[in-house]
Chains A and B, each alone.
Chain A
Amino acid sequence: MYLIFCHKSVILNKLIKMSLFIRNYKPGVAYNAQILWRFNSTTAETVKQGEDEEEFRVLDILHKKGKLQKRVNRRADIQPDRSEKMPTDQNWGNVWPGPRSFHPSSVPLPIRQGYVPKGQAPPGKKANAELMKIPNFLHLTPPVVKSQCEALKKFCTSWPKLLNSEEAIEKNYPMEIISSDYCHASPTIRNPLARIVTLRVKLSNLKLDSRARDKFLRLVGDKYDEKTDLVTLTADRCPVRKQNMDYVNYLLTACYHESWTVEDWETDKCLEDMEYYDFDLNPSKKNLVNWYLMSNNEDNNLNDEQVKNFDVSKIPNGVEYKSAVSELFNEGESDLALNKYDTSVRKLLGLPEKKIAN
């Protein structure tokens, strides 16, 4: 037991010695020691000299000396601002070639920004984060824009001379395709809204007769605007713009050709099925024609087809009567329509004008 303990202590001693050695050992220790020694001796000497010169040591209660000894590290190698060395006739586009945050040492302008109480000057351009935040257009000065436009000119072609007016453009390009492109501040250039395609065409530009036009309007429904005579077809169901464009074109083509086809059942349409009042088809015209022919002592044995094709303008005041009756049926009863009907009937039958009792 004792032996073992003794052995252990020996090992411990050895270990301690080794650790001491490791702690003190540094590569090139002899050289360092020499230098240290020399340094020590010189400092000691200077301190001695200082003590000799000063007669009394000053009691420094507030430790003012220590405070004064704090050096402010000012770098001497900081260059003066670039803006101070700029010549007045320099090319600004070379100084500020692209979009960049504001930098005070490159901009030779005395700019200030910031809100301060009245009477104070706003913060200057240096160390002003507000100036760095706002987007600047220092890279888009008028001379730079001009030179860039000049550089881009060779890639442009002149506008066709024949397309000099809105009418000419509308005549040559009756169909209008509207789609939107989007710009983002994000790594993706895709925007789901860019897929939407709108096609606009004037109904008068399509070659349709009255029946086909009627059918076309029924097919497109509320996509037709009466005021502007425009048919607007919008597609957003496909994921890509190209597909939507194809779909819009397909829609227009399909509607156009469908409106020209005549189905068998379309001939079965009778007077009761009419969605509007057509004067030529109604008994009102037959009565008018018969009355006209009778009053002129002419042969009034016209069949239905002849009555239908009879020109109302032959009858004096006939056109006015026709429009008044049509308006009354198509647009509903109103004071204006009734008055118009009243006057037209009086004119047609040669009755005196209505006397308004005041």
Chain B
Amino acid sequence: MNTSIIKIAQASNALSQFSPVFASQFHTSSALCRVVSGKYRITKKRDRPLTYEMANPPHYIAHRKSWNSWNTSSLKDGLRKSETAVEDEFIRRFINGTWHGLVCSEVIIKRQFNHIRIAAIMRRAVSPTKMYFLLGYTEELLSTWIQCPVTLELQTVDSYEDVVFKYI
């Protein structure tokens, strides 16, 4: 049995001498450099609304648009890198869920010392009373979870069309 396997191996060895395809164990192809994340496709009717943030793909950060998270963790040798990233993601999800269907822009999170300032553009689709409630609710809950003072700095617009930069 063993000898037969060796024989097969030898045979394949002999084969590899003639054909380079058999010689290599894995095959490679040229890399497909197709970046699609953060980019939007043009629609047929050219009616897809894009905000300024969406209109500029990620490689324009620091050229045409700036970051959505401002903190010192992302600097070189910054502390609490992972914690900050996770907290930011949590805040974004919480805001998008709490202010459901109202958030018209990206949630901008700025940190100064232990103070977290969250800025966003909201739609005026609910009554001011509800908005004030949501504001206090968000600040209170987030500051309880993250154990930091949290401030919401909102700007309101009439409708989503106010933040639309262009249609593609």
A interface list, Cβ under 8 A from B: 74-75, 78, 99-101, 103-104, 114-115, 123, 126-130, 132-135, 183-189, 191
Q: Is the CB of B155 within 8 A of A183?
A: no
What separation, in Å, do the CA atoms of A16 and B16 have in the docked complex? Answer: 83
A127 and B148 contact, CB distance less than 8 A: no
Bits for B48-67, please: 1 = Cβ < 8 Å to A, else 0. 00011100100010011111
* Residues 12-41 of B at the A interface (beta carbon under 8 Å): none
B21 CB, min distance to chain A CBs, angstroms:
50
In this complex, which of A114, A128, A130, A184 has the most chain B Cβ atoms within 10 angstroms of its Cβ? A184
Cβ of B71 < 8 Å from any Cβ of A? Answer: yes
Query: 1/0 per position for B118-158, CB-CB distance to A under 8 A?
Result: 01010010000000000000000000001110000101011
Tell which of B63, B78, B158, B162 touches A74, judged by Cβ atoms closer than 8 Å: B158
- In angstroms, Cα B71 to Cα A322, docked, is 65
What is the chain A residue whose CB lies nearest that of B67?
Answer: A133
Q: Which chain A residues lie closer than 8 Å to B113 at the CB level? A: 183-186, 189
Contact pick for A126, options B68, B112, B114, B157, CB 8 Å: B157
**Of B70, B78, B104, B163, which is within 8 A of A135 by CB?**
B70
A184 touches B72 (CB 8 A): yes
A-B CB pair tally, cutoff 8 Å:
100
Please determine whether B106 and A129 come into contact, CB atoms closer than 8 angstroms. Answer: yes
**Set of chain B residues within 8 Å of A189, measured between Cβ atoms:** 113-114
Q: Is B108 an interface residue (CB 8 A)?
A: yes
Q: Is the interface of A mostly helix, strand, loop or mixed?
A: loop
Cβ B66 vs Cβ A130 within 8 A: yes
Interface size on B, residues (CB 8 A): 43
How far is it, in angstroms, between the C-alpha of A189 and the C-alpha of B79 when the chains are bound?
10
User: Is residue B96 contacting chain A, with contact meaning CB distance below 8 A?
Assistant: no
Question: Which residues on the B side are within 8 Å of A103 (C-beta)?
Answer: 153, 155
Q: Given A101-B108, A186-B114, is A132 in contact with B52 using a C-beta cutoff of 8 Å?
A: no
Cβ-defined contact, A123 with B108, below 8 A: no
Contact assessment for B146 and A133 in the assembled complex, using a CB-CB cutoff below 8 Å: no
Minimum CB–CB distance from A114 to chain B (whole Å) comes to: 6
Inter-chain pairs besides A127-B162, A130-B52, A132-B105, 20 sampled, C-beta below 8 Å = A99-B117, A101-B117, A101-B153, A103-B155, A114-B165, A115-B60, A127-B104, A127-B157, A127-B163, A129-B52, A129-B163, A132-B119, A133-B65, A183-B72, A184-B72, A184-B80, A185-B70, A185-B113, A187-B114, A189-B113
> Are B148's CB and A129's CB within 8 A?
no
Q: Pick 12 A–B contacts, CB within 8 A, sort by A.
A: A75-B124, A99-B112, A114-B64, A126-B155, A126-B157, A127-B157, A132-B153, A133-B65, A134-B66, A184-B73, A187-B114, A189-B113
Residues of B within 8 A of A184 (CB): 72-73, 78-80, 113
- The answer to whether A127 and B112 touch across the interface, beta carbons within 8 angstroms, is no
Bound together, the chains give a CA A78 to CA B148 distance in angstroms of 32
B106 touches A185 (CB 8 A): no
CB distance from B157 to the nearest CB of A (A): 5
Q: Is the Cβ of A132 less than 8 Å from the Cβ of B155?
A: yes
Closest approach, in angstroms, between the C-beta of B54 and any C-beta of chain A? Answer: 11
| B92 part of interface (Cβ distance < 8 Å) | no
**A115 contacts B64, CB within 8 Å?**
yes
Collect the chain A residues with CB atoms within 8 Å of residue B72's CB: 183-186
What residues of A have a CB within 8 angstroms of the CB of B83 in the complex?
Answer: 186
Q: Which residues of A sit under 8 angstroms from B80, Cβ to Cβ?
A: 184, 186, 188
Question: How distant is the Cα of A188 from the Cα of B148 in the complex, in angstroms?
Answer: 10
In the complex formed, the residue of A with least CB distance to B73 is A186
Known: A123-B165, A127-B104, A186-B114. A101 touches B119 (CB 8 A): yes
Residues of B within 8 Å of A99, CB to CB, are 112, 117
Q: For residues 61 through 104 of chain B, which have their beta carbon under 8 Å from a beta carbon of chain A?
A: 63-68, 70-73, 78-80, 83-84, 104
